[in-house]
Amino acid sequence: MGTKKLFYSLSSPSTNFLIVGDDRYFLLTVANGVPIFVPDRCPHRGGPLHLGKFVEDGRKIKCPWHRYCWRKESIERKFLPVIVNRQCLTLAIPKNGNKEMKIKEIHKAFML
Count of residues that interact with ligand FES, criterion CB under 6 A: 9
38 belongs to the binding site for ligand FES (CB under 6 A): no
Residues 58-97 binding ligand FES (CB under 6 A) are 63, 65-66, 68
| Contact criterion met (CB below 8 Å) for 110 and 50 | yes
Tell me whether strands 34-39 and 23-31 are parallel, antiparallel or unpaired. antiparallel
| Contact criterion met (CB below 8 Å) for 107 and 14 | yes
Q: Which is nearer to ligand FES, 5 or 45 (CB)?
A: 45
Listed in sequence order, the DSSP H helices in 1-112 are: 72-76
Q: Which is nearer to ligand FES, 64 or 101 (CB)?
A: 64
CA distance 29 to 54: 12
Q: Which residues bind ligand FES (CB under 6 A)?
A: 42, 44-47, 63, 65-66, 68
